[in-house]
Amino acid sequence: MFYLKKNAPKPNGKVPVMGRITVNGSIAQFSCKLDIAPSLWDLKSNRAAGKSLEAQKINKTIDNIRVQITRHYQRIADKDAYVSAVKVRDAYLGMGEEYKTLLSLFAEHNDSFKRHVGVDRVQSTFRKYRSVHAKLADFIKLRYRNYDIPLKELEPEFIENFALYLMTDCGLTSSSSNMYLRPLKRMVTIAHNRGWISRNPFADYRLKMEVRERGFLNEEQLKRLMTQKLQFPGQDFVRDMFVFSCFCGLAHVDLRNLSHDNIITEADGSLWIDIRRQKTNTPAAIRLLDVPLQLMKKYSGFPTKDNKVFNVPDLAHCNRNLKEIAKQCELDMRLSYHLARHTFATTVTLSQGVPLETVSKMLGHTSIKTTQIYAKITRDKIGRDMECLSAKIGGKFQLNPQAPNAL
């Protein structure tokens, strides 16, 4: 049955709606996460009175709670010899031992992930998972009026509604929403693989992918950035680290972790960077060009910690300085460190005729499709390729010299 907790009024005068379960003489109470004005409550039917929109909404929620509790009671009765009100209530609230919940699964994952930060995981990814947990908690509270949801109660509509919530209530784009939906799918897949749920309700859900234009420096912009006299000495070092990544494709975190142990000398005397990317743990092998070699020599006399090649500042510091450097170089773009990686993929390699497969290996991508997003074929590259094609086929194909006939 349902009743009002009149001794706990809210500032607006409304009081909480409570539920009471009675099984074999045992009693358990719980909050329905609903508030109502006492004048709208019908004591005889234990429901909201009238046909107002508020009354209809409350009664619909009450009916839904009643159906769920009945379902949990039947499930427990089929499984256990003894059924108590507390067992039914805890099952409804997702608190029973056999009822794993979504947010508790996320919390366990995040606790485990946190212990790996700095070892084989990065802080930024941990913050992402923590943010997903917070967004899910807000969504479940708003949509389901509960503090968690049992994994067994998840339906395909859950992720669809969560995606809509992210784009409407949170104002995220479709691409940004995927940053929250992808971890959610992963958690539910883990639950399914571990046997906690008999089916994966999100197995058929496909993320909506947006192909975005990736920024990069073209050849003229890169030359301007490399030669511009900057206002402050500290900006020179940030610029040099950015340029280093432009000519080897390292992400900021990988350059920051780069040690002399990662610099390999081959039999022909060439120097290579041989690392595993921290983000994906995939191998990347890059032969060092003249520009990064000159930068290594330039800073070789500076002391570093843990045998590092450079003392690279944190990402926020680099991006702040790059923003100012872009202004001084009159670059009409939002210059951030990751553009160095895009520039390597596009201007330094692909536009110079390096095959896409080779670029993919140097970037440490697991799929060439990822490289295709990073690496943009420029108009200059197309023009040069067509010139080569024109030279190859020139004279091979001839039109019929016959004069044109009138139609």
Q: What are phi and psi of 23, to 5 degrees?
A: -135, 120
Which residues lie below 8 Å from residue 277, measured CB to CB, with a gap of 6+? 251, 254, 283, 284, 364
Do 218 and 342 meet the contact criterion of CB atoms below 8 Å apart?
no
Tell me which of 64, 93, 122 is where a domain ends: 93
Residues 320, 327: Cα–Cα separation, whole Å: 11
Is residue 265 located within the same domain as residue 385?
yes
Q: Is 73 in the same domain as 143?
A: no
In a domain, 203, yes or no: no
| pLDDT value for 391 | 82
**Residues 254 and 188 placed together within one structural domain of the fold:** no
Burial category of 45 from C-beta neighbours within 10 Å (exposed 0-12, middle 13-18, buried 19 and up): exposed
Q: Is residue 301 in some structural domain?
A: yes
pLDDT at 258: 96
Contact 276/254 with Cβ under 8 angstroms? no
Q: Are residues 57 and 158 in the same domain?
A: no
Query: Which pLDDT value is given to residue 326?
Result: 96
At 227 the pLDDT is 95
Q: Where in the sequence is the domain holding 371, given as residue range(s)?
A: 219-390
Tally of domains in the chain: 3
Same domain assignment for residues 47 and 109: no
Helix axes 315-328, 233-246, angle to 10 degrees: 100
CB contact at 8 A, 330 and 358: no
At 164 the pLDDT is: 94
Helices and strands (DSSP H and E) totals, the chain:
15, 8
Task: Report the CATH number at residue 122.
Answer: 1.10.150
99: left (phi over 0), alpha (psi -120 to 50) or beta: beta
Full pLDDT tens readout for the chain, 407 residues: 899 999 989 899 999 999 999 998 899 998 888 899 999 999 999 999 999 999 999 999 999 899 989 988 888 888 777 888 988 888 777 655 556 889 999 999 999 989 988 777 778 888 999 999 999 999 999 988 888 888 877 888 999 999 999 999 999 988 889 999 999 999 999 988 887 777 888 988 888 766 566 689 999 999 999 999 999 888 999 999 999 999 999 999 999 999 999 999 999 999 999 999 887 888 999 999 999 999 999 999 898 999 999 999 999 999 999 999 999 999 999 999 999 999 999 999 988 888 889 999 999 888 888 787 766 666 677 777 778 877 877 777 766 676 666 55
Task: Say yes or no: 323 and 286 in one domain.
Answer: yes
Question: Residue 343: how many CB atoms within 10 A of its CB?
Answer: 27
Domain boundary residue, one of 159, 193, 227 = 193
Same domain flag for 312 and 250: yes
Co-location of 85 and 129 in the same domain: no
State pTM to two decimals: 0.57
264 and 374 both lie in a single domain = yes
State the pLDDT at residue 365: 86
User: In this structure, what are the phi and psi dihedrals at residue 138, rounded to the nearest 5 degrees?
Assistant: -65, -40
Last residue of one domain, picked from the residues 177, 193, 209? 193
Q: Report how far apart, in Å, the C-alpha atoms of 233 and of each of 191, 219, 240, 325 are.
A: 53, 24, 11, 12
